Structure 1
Amino acid sequence: MTTIINQILALTASNLKSLHRRKWMSLSLVFSVAMVVTVLLGFLAMSNGFRLSLMQAGSPDIAIGLGKGAATELGSRIDISQLHYLDGAGGFATNAKGVALISPEMVVPVDIQQKSGVSSATLSLRGIGPFGLDVRPNVRIVSGRTFTPGTSEIVVGRRLSLDYKGLDIGEKLTLGTSKWTVVGIFDAGGSAFESEMLGDLGVVQTLFDRPNQIQSIRVKLASPQALPALQSMAAGMPQIALTLRSEQDYFAALAERTSKLILLLGWPLAVIMAVGAAVGAMTTMSSSVSDRSTEIATARAIGFSRRAAFASTWIEAMILTALGCLSGIAISYLVLNGWSASTISLDRTQIGFQLILSPPLIGKAAVLALAIGAIGGAVPAIAATRIPLRLAMSGRT
């Protein structure tokens, strides 16, 4: 066992010392693997960042109610009369006056011009009830003030104020046929809430000609354990006709659908690139074996085993692949991690988020990268074991 290990180490060291003769071919392998890793980590970080952005918006003691059968707010309709049946129901948190913290809400898609370029994006203007901020515990005004009820004032998410025109404090903007004034900027801990603008529900309904229209309600629960009883009550009373679920569950479902779509695009692309990189690795290592054929034959003639010839060639491929993998990870951290992006939600509005890398994601990319080296280096390594020993004498095939 010691002998074969020594042989492998000796041949591997010889291979690595001769890399300068094949530096461009070797660098091409490193580069191709780095690109595969970077592309895959880009999609994985996008999926992860979007999922975390939505999950951070959800709270276990906040419930969201949609119209019966609706999966998203865009397809939900709630009649004001339905809310009256919730009066006196237990399980709701209350304010100092004993009033249940319930916020009827609606979302209006509006077009806002981006700061970079002339294109516009569809954002969410959300009308909220008097307790709208009370049911959003992670939202806090960081600049300016909150809007005054009954006026066409809005507060905007921090992320929107950075990316879109006309959303600084004091700015006046036209949304549809209505005019609004930005009076505050809020932070929501990097969650999806930062991709919204908030205003008074009654004003939004009036200025967008949607009287008494509600798409959802948000309620603060006395405790997360109160939700099952409320769900049973809603299911047992046809007059309520609401589907209640925790905010965490609601956002988790949204995140899962969009994250799967991102990965559905990312993985096939990465695998196709990986196949190309594996072919490139095979070509590179075949060139390496050809370049060192006389050396390999000589080593075999003086007693080095076929296993040593195979292992040293295969290890060279794995080392070059590992260098490409590390380069791809470094590029991803320097360029992609924390990079701001946006995507279209199921409500057809923009949701901003950041690309976020994590050790499990890096592990997945590393496995794919090492598979490239393992597969791409195997065939040339087998070829190295079959080099005729007469090359040790003639130097010719």
Structure 2
Amino acid sequence: MFGFIRQSLALSGANLRSLPRRAWISLSMVLSVTLVVLVLLGFLAMANGFRKTLSSTGSADVAMVLSRGAFSEALSRIGTQQAHLIEEAPGIARTAEGAPLISRELVVPVDAVAQDSGKNETLSLRGVTATGLALRPKLAISAGRMMTPGTDEIVVGARLAAKYNDLNLGDTISFGRSQWKVVGHFTAGGSVFESELLADAGLVQAQFNRPNQIQSLRVRLEDPAAFAQFSAYVEDLDLGLLAQTEQAFYAAQASDISRIILFLGWPLAIVMAIGAAVGAMTTMYSSVSDRMVEIATVRALGFSRSAAFVATLVEALALTLIGCAIGVALAWIGLDGWSASTKSGANAQLAFQLALSWPQALSAVVLALGIGAIGGGLPALRATRVPLRAAMTGRA
């Protein structure tokens, strides 16, 4: 047993020391693994970034009411009479005067010109009430001031202000036939709200010809435990509405979007990994052929077949781990925290940041080791079958 270990270590060391002699072909294997790792981590970082952005949105003591079956606010419709009935629900927090802390809201798609491409992209303009602003405790003005209710003023998520034209403080931007003045930028704790423009709900209804249209109701509950009572009341009304906590609504969206991204990302990474494994196999076959005389000679000196197998496999795994380390390092430097955006369920831009984690890096390492094991396995087996006559002839 100890003899096998000593032989394996000696042959592995010799193989690794001879890598500079096969630098270019070894580099091709390293680069192919690096590319696979980068692609995989790119998708994982995107899914994780989405999940963090959406999961950080919402509170357990704020309930959302939407049409039953609506997967997003854009697909929901709530009538004025329905809204009045919801205001009478038990469990709703109220002001000292007895007014319910409830916000009638709607989201309309608007176009803005992206600074990098010069093309129109769709953003979400949310109509909110003063109560709606109070129901977002993480929302804070980072520049300028809050809009004045009843006026054509808007406040813009800081992430959007940096990416689109005419969204700086003091700018006036046209949405359809209406003009809106940007009076403030805001942050919202990294939540999805930072991807929106906020304006007075009544004015949004009037300017976009949507009189009395409501898409969602946001309700402050007396405490999180009051949600069960509130939800039961909404169900008993039998109005085709569904209540859920704001936290649960965005967590479900995060799960759905992340699942879609991973559904696309993993198959692509696996296909690329298969290609990288084939490339690794070609590299290792070339390595074995290049050292055929050496392998046969050490075999003639008493080194076992198993030691030759292990040494060749170690070489393949070493090259894949180098490629994996480079890929992880590049992904962490270039992707982690990188700002990106994509279309949400309402076909509007949703800004988020890519986020990497150590479990994701571990997934990349496992995939890389799979590439090395597959790509080095058959060539390593080939190394155990090199006949002694190759030491004299240089041929298999």
TM-score relative to the length of structure 1: 0.97
In 1, the alpha carbon distance for the partners of 2:97 and 2:161 equals 35
Paired residues for 1:218-367 under 5 Å: 218-238=218-238, 240-367=239-366
Q: Is the 8 A contact 2:155 2:183 kept in 1?
A: yes
Provide structure 2 residue ranges, at least 5 long, that are not aligned to the other structure.
none
User: Is 1:50 aligned with 2:89?
Assistant: no
Give, in angstroms, the shift of residue 96 of structure 1. Answer: 4.3
Give, in angstroms, the shift of residue 18 of structure 1. Answer: 1.0
Give, in angstroms, the shift of residue 248 of structure 1. Answer: 1.5
In 2, the alpha carbon distance for the partners of 1:5 and 1:86 equals 75
Q: Is the 8 A contact 2:89 2:234 kept in 1?
A: no
Paired residues for 1:120-199 under 5 Å: 120-199=120-199
Q: Secondary structure at the match of 1:185?
A: strand
Name 1:396's counterpart in structure 2: 395
Stretches (4+) displaced over 6 A? none
In 1, the alpha carbon distance for the partners of 2:96 and 2:187 equals 25
In 2, the alpha carbon distance for the partners of 1:338 and 1:393 equals 58
In 1, the alpha carbon distance for the partners of 2:95 and 2:359 equals 43
Q: Is the 8 A contact 2:92 2:230 kept in 1?
A: no
In 1, the alpha carbon distance for the partners of 2:336 and 2:130 equals 38
In 2, the alpha carbon distance for the partners of 1:53 and 1:47 equals 10
User: Is 1:93 aligned with 2:69?
Assistant: no
Give, in angstroms, the shift of residue 271 of structure 1. Answer: 0.9
CA RMSD in angstroms comes to: 1.2
In 1, the alpha carbon distance for the partners of 2:275 and 2:87 equals 63
In 1, the alpha carbon distance for the partners of 2:91 and 2:220 equals 9
Q: Secondary structure at the match of 1:85?
A: helix
Q: Secondary structure at the match of 1:112?
A: strand
Give, in angstroms, the shift of residue 5 of structure 1. Answer: 0.6
- Match for 1:94: what amino acid? R
Paired residues for 1:15-54 under 5 Å: 15-54=15-54
Give, in angstroms, the shift of residue 99 of structure 1. Answer: 2.5
In 1, the alpha carbon distance for the partners of 2:102 and 2:66 equals 13
Q: Secondary structure at the match of 1:122?
A: strand
Give, in angstroms, the shift of residue 62 of structure 1. Answer: 1.3
In 2, the alpha carbon distance for the partners of 1:251 and 1:87 equals 23
Query: Residues 215 and 299 from structure 1, CA distance in 2 versus in 1: closer, same or farther, beyond 3 angstroms?
Result: same
In 1, the alpha carbon distance for the partners of 2:264 and 2:97 equals 52
Give, in angstroms, the shift of residue 317 of structure 1. Answer: 0.2
Q: Is the 8 A contact 1:254 1:346 kept in 2?
A: no
In 1, the alpha carbon distance for the partners of 2:255 and 2:367 equals 23
In 2, the alpha carbon distance for the partners of 1:87 and 1:41 equals 46
In 2, the alpha carbon distance for the partners of 1:75 and 1:385 equals 65
Name 1:14's counterpart in structure 2: 14
- Match for 1:313: what amino acid? T
Give, in angstroms, the shift of residue 386 of structure 1. Answer: 0.2
Give, in angstroms, the shift of residue 133 of structure 1. Answer: 1.0
Q: Is the 8 A contact 2:44 2:262 kept in 1?
A: yes
Give, in angstroms, the shift of residue 61 of structure 1. Answer: 1.4
Q: Is the 8 A contact 1:79 1:213 kept in 2?
A: yes
Q: Secondary structure at the match of 2:72?
A: coil
TM-score relative to the length of structure 2: 0.98
Q: Is the 8 A contact 1:82 1:241 kept in 2?
A: no
- Match for 1:121: what amino acid? E
Give, in angstroms, the shift of residue 365 of structure 1. Answer: 1.2
Give, in angstroms, the shift of residue 342 of structure 1. Answer: 0.9
Name 2:206's counterpart in structure 1: 206
In 2, the alpha carbon distance for the partners of 1:374 and 1:119 equals 47
Q: Is the 8 A contact 2:101 2:131 kept in 1?
A: yes
Give, in angstroms, the shift of residue 69 of structure 1. Answer: 2.9
Give, in angstroms, the shift of residue 366 of structure 1. Answer: 1.2
Give, in angstroms, the shift of residue 224 of structure 1. Answer: 1.3
- Match for 2:147: what amino acid? F
In 2, the alpha carbon distance for the partners of 1:109 and 1:393 equals 77
- Match for 1:294: what amino acid? V
Q: Is the 8 A contact 1:38 1:331 kept in 2?
A: yes
What whole-Å deviation, never above 9, does each CA across 1:44-73 have from its counterpart, x for those lacking one? 101110111111112211111102332211
Paired residues for 1:67-82 under 5 Å: 67-82=67-82
Give, in angstroms, the shift of residue 363 of structure 1. Answer: 1.1
- Aligned identity (percent) is 54
